[in-house]
Structure 1
Amino acid sequence: MEIKKMISKIIAKLIVILIFLYAFQMFGQEKKFSGDPDSAFKTARDLASSNQRKQAQDTLLFILTKYPDYHDVRTYLATTYGWDADYKKAKKEFEVVLEKDPKNKPAWQGIIQNELWANAPFIALEMSDRALEQFPKDPDILLLKAKAQEQTEKTVDALDTVNLILKENPENKKAEELKYSLRKKVSLNTIGLILSADFYSAVFDPMQYYSLKYGRQTKLGSLTAKLNFNRRLNTNGEQLEIDMYPKIINGLYGYINAGYSNSPLFPKTKYGAELFKALSHGLEASLGFRTLNYATTTNFYTASVSWYTGNSYWSFRPYLTPGDVGTSFSGALTYRKYRSDADNYFSVSAGMGYSPELNQFNYTAVDNVKIGLKSQKINLGYNFTSRNQRNIYNTQFGITHQEELFSPGDYYWVYFVAFTWDVRFR
């Protein structure tokens, strides 16, 4: 009897397992896609564009259960994985498509872009060359190759690739935009000319300032040498000056300045340094000092807080200047509205207080007594480039309301105009 009961229980369990397996099979069959794949694909794209990517991916995978060779669906699925930074999963799906269809251009574009997103530009470059075997001189593939070359610091090669695109497709806007961007990196040298003048409502005759400069971008940072020439108070003067922006580590760089002159219009020597640190949320802060050596030495201290938000830039820079009558405070607030890139913008700056930096062109050896003078200024500027971005222009116009040195409480106006022209070259 015991054996019969045991056998009966085993048979009952087997029946339950068989029923379960049958139900599971039926359930699996019901889960297989049975609708219109094109309509479902459109639904998936709509979901993805509405930031419902998980639902979109589930729909795409469901379509592939019945149509595994629907390559547009699989390519789009891989692309959504790339958007989610799941680059390995994306690459796997792209490879499935390319294994079956080596002539699938969207899959080649997708897998190359995926490697660029994954910060694997050398692999992207290799993929580009393989794709070009299938699609020789294709402008879309060549553009991706140029981006890969740029990321691998083969800037000259990238520019050659873009020029190859434009030779066959001169109206390709994406290639033109990349070409302008690459030219900035390839053009490591810059020469420039600054012309400016101050016109006074009283006290002084017009004062003129000129500067000839040469700059070069290096792996350690930028370096600019300037020859400055001033004419004021019926006297001419020259000054040699060097500016450097050394790179230290990612997010941290410096500023170093030094100058020499044997003219009384300039300090005999000047030097300064500042440290800049990138912060989160588009913020940047700095702290530094400047020193001017006339017959006596003037030290002043400065800092800045800057904020990059969208196409806008805000910066506040205060100055603390110790003097014979105590320490004075001055400062300036600057706003820039960028257009196409960092070389094209409108700017406005407003400042208060007297500082050797804010009033650098009319500061002299006896000006320590001026530190407590009141002053307000506003400056408007426009920076723009030529169509090929080799030429950079800047125009400025400013007005200063300045308290007189020997007549406190009385003011005069200073009107400032300036024009700058820079030329980039290799």
Structure 2
Amino acid sequence: MRRRFFRPAVRALLLACVVAMAPAAMAQDAASAGDSYDQQFARARELASSGQREQAIALYTAMLQQSPANADVRLARGRTYAWMERWPEAEADLVAVTTADPDYADAWSARGDMYLWSDRPQQAATAYARWNELSGDDPEPALALGRAHRAAGDYDAARADFTAARARGADPARVDEYLASLQQRIANQEALLPTGLRWALRVGGTHTSFDPSRESWDEYEVSLRRKFDRGSLALEMLEADRFGEHGTAWALDGYVTLWDRAYANLRYQHSSDALFADHIWRAELFQGVGKGWELSGSYDHLEFDGSDTDMFGVGVGRYFGNFYARYRMLHAPGEGSGSLSHRAQLRYYYAGNADDYFEVNGGYGRSHEFDSGFGRVVGSSHSSFGVEFVKFLTPHWGFKLGAGFANDVDGYDERAVSAWLYSRW
């Protein structure tokens, strides 16, 4: 019994060894079969580019055994290791090449790529900077250096790099795309303006219908925002037609940069009409932490005729690539334990800049959201869902379209559509 089991096991082990050693053996045969250096090198590059990277590595290794000081082969193997995300082996090869030949521009380029792909932007910037020094008027190193500085969060340096690439003859449209990607992204994207623009005008409104049928609501807004060095401030006029009545409110809405990765939203709104709260004060603090995370805490105080309402919120957001996701929990003290609600949003910056995005959002729970734009609390709502689409046709003109649904809002289902026009200068 043991002998019958042992022999098949040995055969299986030997077969596995043969299969594992086959690429190296084939590579060794190719390297020693009389092919010229150029033929071997071309064959290895073909293997690497066609996805047969283990075979390419084996062939490069066989060539290096014959010529250990060949920088071109070691560079090619280092690049292939980087494509395979085998970072230690890639770094060892590429560092060896740049150490042996500090003026080998392509090696510094590959080393920068390897660091950037492995999420080490500061080291990538150092490598790209050396490539940039060696490449004269070539715009590509400047673009690569800008990408590394952008990944490291040094937007001023990245902007200078992209501008230098333009001066060297880089495609203007490509440079504009990179510069647009440097715009900061925050929870309320409309509070920011691109570099060079100081004013923003927003005009639009929302139409809401109900099921069971009752008189629809119409709400309008005009907002004029001024950008300053550390933030922006908007003057807003809000109007509403509800229940056959008309009301107007005025608001100041400001965003200010505080310390490193922190900013705040401060808002005051006033109205003497019954459709709005008499006074609204709002403060929300945002603090970036870790890699792409953002924590927030908010407080809203609303004064209605004869009663006040306080609302407390905490949130966590995450920026990753061209996406932004956020969860927010809101608590309104009241009878018993008060009301608790939840809200989530997912935004996709589809053009890679900070202007154009598509967003989906949803909420759950009583009083699940305070409508800061119109100063009302959505009461007794079980759940809601909404979508928004923002597109800037030029840096100066854009629009936003939105649609939403909320069920069981004081016994009615709401269906809302909105449209907004933006002008910036």
Range of TM-score over shorter length: 0.5 to 0.7
Q: Does 1:304 align with 2:315?
A: yes
Per-residue Cα deviation, 1:160-219 (whole angstroms, up to 9, x for no partner): 22322446x56xx7545424325779717553314223345535653322222234574x
Task: Report what 1:349 is aligned to.
Answer: 361
Q: Does 1:90 align with 2:94?
A: yes
Letter in 1 for 2:32: S
Q: Contact 1:191–1:215 at 8 Å: present in 2 too?
A: yes
- What is the CA–CA distance in structure 2 between the aligned matches of 1:245 and 1:49, rounded to whole Å? 49
Letter in 1 for 2:106: P
Q: Does 1:157 align with 2:165?
A: no
Describe the SS at the equivalent of 2:367. Answer: coil
Q: Does 1:290 align with 2:263?
A: no
Could you say if the C-alpha distance between residues 256 and 338 of structure 1 is closer, same or farther in structure 2, counting changes exceeding 3 Å?
closer
- What is the CA–CA distance in structure 2 between the aligned matches of 1:384 and 1:161, rounded to whole Å? 28
Cα RMSD for the two superposed structures: 4.4
Task: Report what 1:124 is aligned to.
Answer: 128
Describe the SS at the equivalent of 2:122. Answer: coil
Letter in 2 for 1:77: R
Per-residue Cα deviation, 1:222-256 (whole angstroms, up to 9, x for no partner): x331211112333332111223464546xxx4544
Task: Report what 1:224 is aligned to.
Answer: 232
Quote how far apart the aligned CAs of 1:258 are: 3.1
Q: Contact 2:222–2:237 at 8 Å: present in 1 too?
A: yes
Quote how far apart the aligned CAs of 1:91 are: 3.2
Task: Report what 1:22 is aligned to.
Answer: none
Describe the SS at the equivalent of 2:32. Answer: coil
- What is the CA–CA distance in structure 1 between the aligned matches of 2:346 and 2:421, rounded to whole Å? 19
- What is the CA–CA distance in structure 1 between the aligned matches of 2:142 and 2:409, rounded to whole Å? 62
Letter in 1 for 2:333: P
Count of residue correspondences: 364
Task: Report what 2:17 is aligned to.
Answer: none
Q: Contact 1:378–1:399 at 8 Å: present in 2 too?
A: yes
Quote how far apart the aligned CAs of 1:299 are: 0.9
Quote how far apart the aligned CAs of 1:270 are: 0.2
Q: 1:317 aligns with which of 328, 332, 356?
A: 328
Q: Contact 1:112–1:128 at 8 Å: present in 2 too?
A: no
Letter in 2 for 1:187: T
Quote how far apart the aligned CAs of 1:74 are: 3.1
Q: Does 1:209 align with 2:221?
A: yes
Could you say if the C-alpha distance between residues 320 and 188 of structure 1 is closer, same or farther in structure 2, counting changes exceeding 3 Å?
farther
Task: Report what 1:60 is aligned to.
Answer: 60
Could you say if the C-alpha distance between residues 96 and 48 of structure 1 is closer, same or farther in structure 2, counting changes exceeding 3 Å?
farther
Letter in 2 for 1:398: G
Could you say if the C-alpha distance between residues 357 and 93 of structure 1 is closer, same or farther in structure 2, counting changes exceeding 3 Å?
same
Describe the SS at the equivalent of 2:181. Answer: helix
- What is the CA–CA distance in structure 2 between the aligned matches of 1:70 and 1:237, rounded to whole Å? 75
Task: Report what 2:47 is aligned to.
Answer: 46
Quote how far apart the aligned CAs of 1:88 are: 6.6
Q: Contact 1:399–1:415 at 8 Å: present in 2 too?
A: yes
Identical-residue share of aligned pairs (%): 17
Q: Contact 1:156–1:186 at 8 Å: present in 2 too?
A: no
Task: Report what 2:402 is aligned to.
Answer: 396
Q: Contact 2:363–2:383 at 8 Å: present in 1 too?
A: yes
Task: Report what 1:14 is aligned to.
Answer: none
Q: Contact 2:255–2:263 at 8 Å: present in 1 too?
A: no
- What is the CA–CA distance in structure 1 between the aligned matches of 2:423 and 2:338, rounded to whole Å? 38
Instruction: Give TM-score, length-normalised by structure 2.
Output: 0.66
Instruction: Give TM-score, length-normalised by structure 1.
Output: 0.66
- What is the CA–CA distance in structure 1 between the aligned matches of 2:108 and 2:288, rounded to whole Å? 40
Describe the SS at the equivalent of 1:234. Answer: strand
Q: Contact 1:300–1:322 at 8 Å: present in 2 too?
A: yes
Quote how far apart the aligned CAs of 1:79 are: 3.2
Task: Report what 2:23 is aligned to.
Answer: none
Q: Contact 1:125–1:148 at 8 Å: present in 2 too?
A: no
- What is the CA–CA distance in structure 1 between the aligned matches of 2:294 and 2:182, rounded to whole Å? 26
Which segments of 5 or more consecutive residues in structure 2 lack a partner in the other structure?
A: 1-27, 185-192
Task: Report what 2:388 is aligned to.
Answer: 381
Describe the SS at the equivalent of 1:320. Answer: strand
Could you say if the C-alpha distance between residues 119 and 155 of structure 1 is closer, same or farther in structure 2, counting changes exceeding 3 Å?
closer
Per-residue Cα deviation, 1:240-295 (whole angstroms, up to 9, x for no partner): 1223464546xxx4544232536453543402234556578x87654443222445
Q: 2:351 aligns with which of 323, 340, 344?
A: 340
Letter in 2 for 1:227: L
Letter in 1 for 2:160: D
